[in-house]
Amino acid sequence: MSLAKADRLFHERNELQRRYLASRQGGSRQRRRDLEAALDLNTREVRATLASLAAEIRAVRSVQKAARYH
């Protein structure tokens, strides 16, 4: 589940970065600020999602180890 969310967030980030760079070429300051805010939010979401993904991986590994010993 977290892997799919991380993939979506990375695609979203790519698009936000593309739009941000385009706005630096001639967009309004307000548009840049809005995109910076969206990038900041995306950063927080990516970090949280990657933490969840790491926890999911640890949980799966734990179950796999337990299954080997039974």
Residue range 23-43: mean pLDDT, rounded: 96
pLDDT in tens, 38-62: 999 999 999 999 999 999 999 998 8
Q: DSSP characters for 11-62?
A: HHHHHHHHHHHHHHTT--HHHHHHHHHHHHHHHHHHHHHHHHHHHHHHHHHH
pTM for this entry: 0.84
- Distance from first CA to last CA of the chain, Å, rounded? 28
The answer on pLDDT for 69 being more than 90 is no
CA-to-CA dists, residue 46 to 12, 69, 70, angstroms: 10, 35, 36
**Residue, of 18 and 69, whose pLDDT is higher:** 18
Identify the pLDDT of residue 70.
56
Identify the pLDDT of residue 64.
82
Identify the pLDDT of residue 37.
98
